[in-house]
Structure 1
């Protein structure tokens, strides 16, 4: 039986004890702004998990998860977009008790057969796996809050993801992007499409992630270095990014646009991706498929700029024969803490490696 009491600050606390699997009792409490909310929560506690899971839909559960969990994350915007998409799926109307492993397997099969929005190919296994990860987290949240006893995602075989990408941007690719955008690469960008190409070229020169790159502020600039604060990085570790002469040139051109406070302030994650794909396809650098929709040639993605830099930096300098950057220096530049992950970004072709063996 849960109790309700008014706290000194005027809120209402529901408190009591839950019986754990080992027979011990664990105290719980939850605070609400009004007494009516506290009473409603207290009444819900008296209902068994089986009864709750028969009345709560996935859509309602997602709302609660977004409010209590997603809202506290750094990646809350991206995660909420994925969760809202799940809420629009017919799966969301099902009650928690109706979910089984087969329900999730059917969802996987259906998603893999759907066309990707604004693209010519199907939803990728990696996209489906990200959705399954979030869905599993939502059900774990439900179990923790005694809304259900089962996570239907557990034990389901995930779609096999394709091999790691091998695409990098060649000099010819970059020239095609410049031509398709109408930019020469040495004057101030005139529109956001040209700005997206400038951002990609900057990634090719520095190995910076798209999310980090778009956050660059004037205050980060040193003489030949960008001082990236921890909060702006994916790994929450501050680092200094060395700038080549070409990288400094690109920054100087973009700074002429006078966006504040971010140097690439004309772009965000959404329009950066949309504009880059548009100019990429116009340049003839999109993915190629056969009559059975099997991938024949990878298209150029914005994130491949990071791999383009890593491959160039780890390749031998023509004058010295030694890598331009050793492994540890490269990891510091790109912000990788796991060298196995860094290995994925080294994409020298077999032909290039064969030349070194001669």
Structure 2
């Protein structure tokens, strides 16, 4: 059966397909997504017919399963953006496994994939990917009833790396600002200025990069910023210090989005400029570690109040992962 070509409608695409006298249609962001949806519909129709006629299990490509997972479940998740980001590199990432039927994929295949992938990415990235694709196969087991068991269950996970405890020193802050062509107290006007501003704001609030980039001017109040959606799924109010309020006063544009930049453009600017000044080993997320440690050392915030500021539900993670005092800091506390 020849698949119909998607038709562009404004900023999206629409495709129609007829199966056994019934018309089905879908609207997607790209023509490729429309084509994949149509192919999936045809495959499901053939599969159902074959199963009815012969009781056999027809081939069901891994890629088709992943698209179905995203369309029916993944796009509803809090981490839907991450799931969608995996669509484009899927073919390159999985190679021959892409078109292999999920009925034929075994733990041995996936272990070989894990070993190869471990040479390309770090342990944290691999752990996150394995968790996602295991969820895809679990979906095939528990919701689609296509499989009896999940082959990922028997694939050993890589050892989780030790949590980072990188502090950011005053001299390094100056270097990063210099690399971004920004001076403290300056009104941001260029894209690199907003990256520098966000860096300073993160050090003052312990907010994540995505949270800062998502701030709307309408969500800023006299002494706090309201975050309607955060990583743990709950809303959070972030209190603002005098320094944080002074930073907010520097934003002079009239747009609702506080940082007028996409996440990808922001990330690329950050990576290039910090490398330019020789600070490749600093991650933007290290600002969260630094800010939390300062809250305890300087403001003497008790852990239960600190958790309200940072949004941590697990106090153990907050204390063991994000609070990173130097031994000298602890010595000073003991003397005090």
Query: Same fold by TM-score, threshold 0.5 exceeded?
Result: yes
Offset of residue 238 of structure 1: 2.7
Give me the whole-angstrom Cα distance separating, in 1, the residues matched to 2:43 and 2:274. Answer: 53
Give me the whole-angstrom Cα distance separating, in 1, the residues matched to 2:252 and 2:316. Answer: 39
Give me the whole-angstrom Cα distance separating, in 1, the residues matched to 2:122 and 2:44. Answer: 44
Question: Residue in 2 aligned with 1:336?
Answer: 312
Q: 1:314 to 1:177 in 2, by over 3 A?
A: same
**Residue 109 (structure 1) aligned with residue 106 (structure 2):** no
Structure (1 or 2) with the greater helix fraction: 2
Question: Residue in 2 aligned with 1:19?
Answer: none
Residue correspondence of structure 1 range 1-358 to structure 2 within 5 A: 42-43=48-49, 45-46=51-52, 51-52=57-58, 55-88=59-92, 89-90=94-95, 91-114=97-120, 123-144=121-142, 145-229=144-228, 232-253=229-250, 255-258=251-254, 260-264=255-259, 266-286=260-280, 299-315=281-297, 317=298, 324-343=300-319, 344-357=321-334
Offset of residue 37 of structure 1: 10
Question: Residue in 2 aligned with 1:31?
Answer: none
Offset of residue 235 of structure 1: 2.6
Give me the whole-angstrom Cα distance separating, in 2, the residues matched to 1:38 and 1:278. Answer: 46
Offset of residue 41 of structure 1: 6.6
Give me the whole-angstrom Cα distance separating, in 1, the residues matched to 2:56 and 2:151. Answer: 15
Question: TM-score normalized by structure 2?
Answer: 0.80
* Corresponding residue SS for 2:159: coil
Give me the whole-angstrom Cα distance separating, in 2, the residues matched to 1:40 and 1:156. Answer: 31
Contact 2:195 2:266 in 1 (8 A): yes
Offset of residue 139 of structure 1: 0.9
* Corresponding residue SS for 1:226: strand
Contact 1:206 1:243 in 2 (8 A): yes
Give me the whole-angstrom Cα distance separating, in 2, the residues matched to 1:347 and 1:136. Answer: 33
Question: Residue in 1 aligned with 2:15?
Answer: none
Offset of residue 148 of structure 1: 2.5
| 4+ aligned runs moved over 4 Å, structure 1 | 36-42, 47-50
Q: 1:349 to 1:48 in 2, by over 3 A?
A: farther
Contact 1:203 1:305 in 2 (8 A): yes
Gapped runs of 5+ residues in structure 2? 1-21, 25-41
Offset of residue 47 of structure 1: 6.8
Aligned length: 294
Question: TM-score normalized by structure 1?
Answer: 0.75
Offset of residue 163 of structure 1: 0.4
Offset of residue 339 of structure 1: 0.5
* Corresponding residue SS for 1:240: strand
Q: 1:271 to 1:49 in 2, by over 3 A?
A: farther
